[in-house]
Amino acid sequence: MATPKLDRRDFSRTLLASGLVPAATAAIPSWPSEKGVTKTRPWAPGIKISVQMPAEPSDEDLTFVQQMGITYVNIPGDAKTSSVDNYVRLKGKVESYGLRVWNIGNASVHNMEEVTLNLPGRDQKIAEYKEFLRKLGKAGLRYTTYAHMGNGIWSSDRETTRGGASARAFDIKTAKGYWNGKVFTGPLSHGRQYSEKEIWDNYEYFIKQVTPVAEEAGVFIGIHPDDPPVPNLGGVPRCIFGSFEGYKQAMQIANSPNVGVCLCCGTWMEGGEAMGVDAVGAIKYFGERGKLWKIHFRNTSAPMPHFVETFVDNGYTDMWKLMKALRDVDYDGCVIGDHFPQMVGDNKTAIAFTVGYMKALLVRANADAAGK
């Protein structure tokens, strides 16, 4: 039987209740956190488990989310799909199922080598990013993830994890960088070695321009860790978002309530001790300061120099500790699984397994917080 959709009046009520309508038409709630930090957010309190959708979610995709008892979805995108009209259309479709959009991405302004490395076209890419933020704000979308890698996400050939499931792997001896159709190889992906000062200067140039736009648009930017956080890949230092201290300094430079952290726990685990603190420590530090807005909830077999992404219950980190830490800091953003090992069946199998595991951990964390 087809899933019933909302009529126009129900749809309007859903928009108002969602907390995701434009700032000009909806009051922004604020409440004291358990750690005494006053939070002002355009969304409701509480941890929100979310699911990644295709760029054009089908009725079956959205019904799948409903059946898992999840409310929030994330949608990828690119330059071709980046428009206010399209964002509003996608929100409308999602919300007609009683669901909500946490964010819609744009791969064209994510991992911009022109920005990270000060290549020709840098100012045009920054202008494109500013316009992307404005479009999100006009569409009533309040969060976006940004990554500052100059030569992509590095991986080696896929390996297997539990039960022979195919999974992403990294071996520093054979890895290459990949992003948005481009491939980056060593020893020098861009023909020369960059200095750490260049990377820091380029970040500051970028973030100082975009923070006023984000604040005006009412959009919160969560910055993703370098994946993997190797100190130098292809001649490009990963000195900012490859360590705890780098993140702290980056937040100070941004000096904006609208710039925070998209904490990919799997990437943090990849770095291991070299990150400076473990993922629980990062959650506590940034969460207590109201700087966490999106969590990528995944596990790895080991830290670098060689790791295989694995199931949430099968890596070297106890994921219960992460969920408990999120609850302890009164985290109010979304938690989403990603980079799933390929289980038997289609991609929904691994998603359902991960969501079920996360839901169980969250129920336990909420009960623990309530003293039950």
Q: What is the CATH number of the domain that holds 86?
A: 3.20.20.150
> For residues 268 and 274, is the Cβ–Cβ distance under 8 A?
no
Taking residues 208-214, what's their average pLDDT?
98
According to the model, what pLDDT value does residue 32 have?
Answer: 37
Helix axes 319-328, 347-369, angle to 10 degrees: 50
Confidence of residue 372 (pLDDT cuts 50, 70, 90): low
Confidence of residue 12 (pLDDT cuts 50, 70, 90): very low
As a whole number of angstroms, the distance between CA 112 and CA 306 comes to 26
Whether 283 is in a domain gets the answer yes
Whether 8 is in a domain gets the answer no
According to the model, what pLDDT value does residue 42 have?
Answer: 86
According to the model, what pLDDT value does residue 41 have?
Answer: 81
Quote the domain boundaries for residue 137: 46-369
As a whole number of angstroms, the distance between CA 188 and CA 150 comes to 12
Q: Which of 308, 363, 358, 368 is nearest to 336 (CA)?
A: 358
The DSSP secondary-structure symbol of 296 reads E
Whether 40 is in a domain gets the answer no
- pLDDT at residue 340 above 90? yes
Whether 96 is in a domain gets the answer yes
According to the model, what pLDDT value does residue 107 have?
Answer: 97
As a whole number of angstroms, the distance between CA 304 and CA 312 comes to 18
According to the model, what pLDDT value does residue 39 have?
Answer: 57
Decide which of 39 and 59 is more confident: 59
Confidence of residue 358 (pLDDT cuts 50, 70, 90): very high
- pLDDT at residue 37 above 50? no
Whether 20 is in a domain gets the answer no
Sequence letter at residue 280:
V
Q: Which of 274, 273, 244 is nearest to 261 (CA)?
A: 244
> For residues 268 and 299, is the Cβ–Cβ distance under 8 A?
no
Q: 350 phi and psi, to 5 degrees?
A: -65, -35
Decide which of 16 and 263 is more confident: 263
- pLDDT at residue 190 above 90? yes
The share of the chain scoring above pLDDT 70, in percent, equals 89
Taking residues 349-355, what's their average pLDDT?
97
Q: What is the pLDDT of residues 126-145, one digit of tens each?
A: 999 999 999 999 999 999 99
Whether 2 is in a domain gets the answer no
According to the model, what pLDDT value does residue 34 have?
Answer: 37
> For residues 261 and 285, is the Cβ–Cβ distance under 8 A?
no
- Provide the domain count of the chain: 1
As a whole number of angstroms, the distance between CA 127 and CA 52 comes to 27
According to DSSP, the β-strands at 306-310 and 166-171 are antiparallel
Whether 331 is in a domain gets the answer yes
Q: What is the pLDDT of residues 146-188, one digit of tens each?
A: 999 999 999 999 999 999 999 999 999 999 999 999 999 999 9
CA distances from 33 to 65, 157, 277 (A): 29, 44, 23
Strand segments, DSSP code E, in the chain are: 30-32, 38-40, 48-52, 72-75, 100-104, 143-147, 153-160, 166-171, 176-179, 182-184, 220-224, 232-233, 236-237, 259-264, 292-296, 299-300, 306-310, 334-336
Whether 16 is in a domain gets the answer no
Taking residues 86-101, what's their average pLDDT?
98
